[in-house]
A and B are shown apart, each in its own frame.
Chain A
Amino acid sequence: MTALVEMKDLKKTYKMGETYVKALDGINLTIKKDEFVSIVGPSGSGKSTLMNMIGCLDALDEGTYFLEGTDVSELSSSKLALIRSKKIGFIFQGFNLLSKLTALENVEMPLIYQNYSHKNRKKKAIEALEKVGLGDRLHHKPTELSGGQQQRVAIARALVADPPIILADEPTGNLDSKSGKEIMDMLVDLHKQGNTIILITHDTYIANTARRKIVLKDGKITEDVEVS
C-alpha cells in the first residue's frame, strides 16, 4: 500500500532580507494511513512550515513529496486547491473561521468548493457538526461561541469532506486547559474512528497522546519514536 505522505530530503528556505532561513533542512518522512502522529519542537523549529508542506499550501524548494502516490511539486495551483479541499482537513491554532458566516455555513464551505449540491452540502455539514457535539449551534456565528466551541466548528469543517488526512497546528494553543483537553479527546476519538491525524504542538504532554512522536529542531527531524 502506498504511504499517505512520503517526503524525501525535502528542503525549504525563506529569505529574510539578506539572510536565508532554512525552515526545513532535509526532511525524510513517511506517514501511513490510520496513523496518529505528533510533531513537536521548539518555536521556530519549522513545524508550521512542515505542516504547510504536507497540506500543499506551500511549494518545496528541494527534494520530493508524494501525497497518496502523487508528485505534488508537479501540480498546478488549481489542482493543489482541489487536493486541499479533498485530501486535507486543516485545524488551525487561531480557529480561522469566517466571522460573518454561521457555524453551518463555515462547515459547508469546503463542500462548496467541491461543487456539492445544496442539499448534500447541508446534510453533510449538519452531520459533521453533530459529530463534534454542536448540533444545537448550527446558526450561531463564531463570536457567539466559546473558544472550545469555535475549535469544534473548525474540526467539523476539517472533517466534513472526509479527507484522508487531518492536519492540526497547535489546536489547543488558544484554549484553556479544560477546552484543550476536550479537543484532544475529540482528536483521539477521531483517530479511533479511522482518521489519520497529524498534530503539531510544542506541548510534550499533549504530544504523548499520539502513537508516534516526531521531534523537529532547526528544520531537521532529530527523533521519530513510537509512544507507548
Chain B
Amino acid sequence: MTTRLLINGRARDVDVEPHRTLLEVLRDTLGIFDAKEGCNEGVCGACTVLLDGRPVSSCLVLAVATRGKPITTVRGLERDGDLHPLQDAFLRHGAVQCGFCTPGMLLTAYAFVEAHPHPDRAAIREALEGNLCRCTGYTKIVDAVEDYARNRCG
C-alpha cells in the first residue's frame, strides 16, 4: 500500500504493508534511526515520536494509520542545522549518557513545555514518567528541561 508519510516536514511516499508499525517503517524501510526500539509495548518511551504534535509510541502505531499526519522525530527539532535550545540544555546539563532514551526524552519534554510553558519540577517529572532512562538517574534530565523552560520564556 503506497502511503504518504510526512516526516519532519518532508513528504515520503512509501510502500508499506498494513501490519508494519511506524517504528519498523522508520528504521527498517527508511533508515531513520531517530526512534529506538526498547520494549515494543508502549512502556519505555525510546520509540517516541510526535504525531500531530503529540507524543506517541511509534511501536504501537500502524504506519499506514499515520498517512498524511505530521510526524516529528528528534531530528525535526533541529533549527537550521543547529541544535534546538532544549537539546543544548541537555548537553550543558549532562542529561545524556548512553543516549538511548534521549530522542524520546527530548520529544516528550518539548511537547510538554509547548503545552505547559511554566512547569515546576514535579510537573516535569510527572510529564516524563513514561520515558525510562537507565543511566542518568533523571535528575540532570529534569534540570535540563527546567532550565530550558525558564530561559525559553525570557
Q: Do A and B form a real pair?
A: no
Binding site for A on B (CB under 8 A): none
